[in-house]
Structure 1
Amino acid sequence: MTVKETKLKGCFILEPKVFEDSRGYFFESFNQKIFNNLIGKNVNFIQDNESFSSKGVLRGLHYQRGEFAQAKLVRVVKGAVLDVAVDIRKGSLSYGQHVSIELSEKNKKQLFVPRGVAHGFIVLSDSAIFSYKCDNFYNKESEGGIIYNDKDLNIDWKLDEKEFVVSEKDLQLPTFKEAIL
């Protein structure tokens, strides 16, 4: 597995070694010991989540605050998404900046999103199955979010906005400047 840190400190792109032959492929999608060694930090994932979404579905930008903050290791099992991470850690050198990467069943890349970084994605393929490993349990009272089309963040979601399918809840999210971080 190779790992590359993004411009957001502690946010990493991981690429597994994929072994392919006439039967198909095999790869190790997660190994706690190797993962912790590669990122130089001990992360203990305690919950796995999975979502299915159709083309244009935009989920995010979400985060958990305080003692319920979550780090996530995300990947696509089927399809393709544009995955986005936004640094909301006050005092961070990359505060207010974002990274985006295409995650797909073909490239098998994963993104590690550390605590204090908001996360979201939009489905680029006809549908997608998205997998999340989380290092903390969800807590409704600690949830936060930022509207996907925040003008200060200026995220290019790669699809025409007419194609977006956004939940009513996510349409009500505050701007980056208004968000409770």
Structure 2
Amino acid sequence: MARKRLAAFVLVACLGVAGCGSSGTVSGAPSAPSSTGGADQAATTSDPGAVAASSSESDALPVATDPCKLVTKAEAQKLIGTALQDAVEAGQGTDAPSCTYSGPTSGPTAQVEVHTGDGAKKYYDLQRGPLAHQLQAESGIGDEAWIDKDDMSIFVRKGDGWFVIHLVSLDDVEKFLPGLRTAAKAAVARI
């Protein structure tokens, strides 16, 4: 139950962050490695000019990919291991669209969420920065991929675009790691 409340809190916080701010980078927190930098790079800033530069970079990001096309309902059901309801889309036409497949109200607790675009990048920044989750680098998935066991998520960057696949379940996260990797690889192939 605590994990479900934490997941709901993180999602609400992430969506709140996605709707606010101009830079997409949490000040004072590690940022995502650039496509030319290594995974150990970190950036901090308190310079207003630096924030303005980040804002320009965010404005230049490509249009977010449709998250319901990255992970289909059948793939989401296979990933979570139970039947799911049809997708609920949110934020289409924005830089932070999402697609959510929820389990039936009769149970078990199950949900697969896919977020793309700037909202996915801000979600990643939140987990890595203020929430200080330990992220595990994954090779062979897009240009950059990170598993967050605390949040049952995989964050993936391909080019300048980001997406995240997030699970809500009461089962052990280790059960879902192979499926998260497989779903992320399939999603990268559709971008």
Same fold (TM over 0.5): no
Query: Per residue, is there more helix in 1 or in 2?
Result: 2
User: What TM-score, normalized to structure 2?
Assistant: 0.28
Query: Per residue, is there more strand in 1 or in 2?
Result: 1
User: What TM-score, normalized to structure 1?
Assistant: 0.29
